[in-house]
């Protein structure tokens, strides 16, 4: 209980005081971690809570990105409508592909999601005038809002950090509420046994579709944020390797836990930032880490931590038990 309280205090205080404590470089790294962890959370929502391993979340990330970039660059939208367009594009795409994809399960689901994302990746690469292909399109950031005639935008790294933190926290909070709602319990029932779930009257297809669109929302928001963060959109972010990285972050962090994706994403991005400035072959360390973590922590880092915590919890009552009982128990 105290641990939960300490955790809550930590979450309320520390992330909000970060820009005061460290320099701009690390603020921007943490901003990036937050954005990508939301992307990993969309993989986690599907795999960790509904049991569907999607290998194509990059598609919805890409739609979020392009919704923002095209909205600003081609349609001349201001900040919020462009943000909305990105999210709507991602959710619409998730709905359309979900109608087909969630009929399938396990291997077939993994493959069809990657196939859908590849189709749109190749389309985006070939429609160069619209999407800019691999080079992508750049745009200038519109201000988030005007206050007293002064424009406040994401060009200020501290404000950008707070904006991203607020959006990502909101999304994690929504996901938390979703998982703990009756709908979320339905998700868990499907994950554990979809036949039983359908026998107690749950509409497995509809629930999976809802989860798929919600995951599309999370991926779309992260894609839109990343477009704002990088001020550009590119087809390379729709390739299957981007989806694959999110799967790795999620599983290494701990699938089926709320903060597992955040831990996994933070681990890999921090290593990349620290090692890549000293040694160009940092992928070797990332690869080794991925392999070691599935061998020694198959339930992820957060899963491992939870295992330790519950074992500690079990041990305490044994110590408190009367000594006579323990004496008798030993032969």
Partner 1 sequence: MKDTVLLLAMNGLIWGLIIALIALGLSVIFGLLDIINIAHGDFFMVGTVLAWFSLSATGNFWIGFLVAPLIGFLLGAIIQRLVIQPIHSVAALSIVATFGLSLILQETVRITFGATPRRILAPIGGTVPLFGVDYEIYRLFAAAVAVAALACFFLFLQHTRLGIWMRAVRHDRETAIAMGIPARRVYVMTFGIGFALAAFGGAVAAPITTVDFRGGVDVLPFCFMAVIIGGLGNLPGTVAAAVLLSFLEGLIQSVADPTIARISSLVLMSAVLMLRPQGLFGGFTK
Within 226-245, the residues that bind partner 1 by CB under 8 A are: 240-241, 244-245
Q: Residue 152's beta-bridge partner residues?
A: 145
Shortest distance in whole angstroms from residue 41 CB to partner 1 = 17
Compute, in degrees rounded to 10, the torsion defined by CA atoms 64, 68, 74, 79: 160
Nearer CB in complex with partner 1: 123/318: 123
Shortest distance in whole angstroms from residue 273 CB to partner 1 = 17
Kindly state whether residue 217 participates in binding partner 1, applying the rule CB under 8 A: no
Kindly state whether residue 90 participates in binding partner 1, applying the rule CB under 8 A: no
- Kindly state the helix (H) or strand (E) to which residue 22 belongs, with its residue range: none
Beta strands 232-233; 137-138: pairing state? antiparallel
Contacts within 8 Å (CB) and 24+ apart, 192-200: 192/51, 194/51, 194/105
Given the rule CB under 8 A, which of 15-23, 107-115, 176-184, 195-203 is the region that contacts partner 1?
A: 107-115
Q: Kindly give the residue spans of alpha helices, DSSP state H, lying in 58-203.
A: 58-73, 79-101, 106-126, 128-131, 157-179, 182-192, 194-199
| Among 78, 126, 181, 326, contact with partner 1 (rule: CB under 8 A) | 126
| Among 78, 138, 181, 283, contact with partner 1 (rule: CB under 8 A) | 283
Shortest distance in whole angstroms from residue 192 CB to partner 1 = 15
- Check: CB of residue 63 under 8 Å from CB of residue 93: yes
Q: Residue 145's beta-bridge partner residues?
A: 152
Q: List residues binding partner 1 (CB under 8 A).
A: 47, 53, 55, 100, 103-104, 106-108, 110-112, 114-116, 118-119, 122-123, 125-126, 240-241, 244-245, 247-248, 251-252, 255, 281, 283-284, 286-291, 293-295, 298
């Amino acid at each position: 209980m105290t641990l939960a309280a300490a955790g809550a205090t930590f979450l309320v205080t520390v992330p909000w005081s970060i820009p005061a404590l460290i320099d701009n470089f690390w603020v921007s790294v943490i901003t990036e971690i937050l954005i990508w962890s939301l992307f990993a959370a969309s993989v986690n929502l599907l795999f960790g809570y509904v049991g569907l391993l999607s290998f194509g979340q990059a598609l919805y990330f890409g739609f979020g990105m392009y919704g923002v970039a095209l909205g600003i660059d081609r349609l001349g939208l201001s900040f919020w409508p462009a943000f909305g367009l990105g999210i709507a594009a991602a959710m619409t795409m998730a709905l359309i592909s979900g109608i087909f994809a969630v009929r399938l399960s396990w291997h077939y689901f993994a493959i069809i999601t990657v196939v859908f994302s590849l189709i749109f990746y190749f389309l985006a690469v070939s429609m160069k005038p619209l999407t800019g292909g691999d080079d992508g399109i750049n745009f200038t950031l519109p201000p988030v809002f005007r206050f007293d005639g002064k424009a406040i935008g994401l060009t200020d790294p501290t404000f950008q950090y707070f904006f991203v933190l607020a959006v990502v926290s909101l999304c994690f909070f929504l996901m938390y509420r979703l998982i703990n709602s009756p709908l979320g319990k339905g998700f868990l029932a499907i994950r554990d046994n979809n036949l039983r779930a359908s026998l107690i009257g749950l509409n497995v297809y509809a629930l999976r579709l809802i989860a798929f669109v919600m995951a599309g929302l999370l991926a779309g928001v992260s894609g839109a944020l990343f477009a704002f963060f990088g001020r550009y959109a590119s087809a390379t972010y729709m390739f299957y390797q981007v989806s694959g990285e999110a799967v790795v972050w999620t599983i290494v962090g701990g699938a089926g836990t709320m903060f597992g994706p955040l831990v996994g994403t933070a681990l890999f991005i921090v290593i990349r930032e620290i090692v890549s400035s000293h040694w160009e072959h940092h992928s070797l360390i990332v690869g080794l880490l991925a392999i070691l973590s599935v061998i020694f922590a198959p339930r992820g880092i957060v899963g491992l931590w939870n295992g330790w915590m519950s074992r500690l919890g079990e041990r305490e009552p044994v110590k408190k038990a009367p000594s006579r009982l323990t004496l008798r128990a030993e032969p």
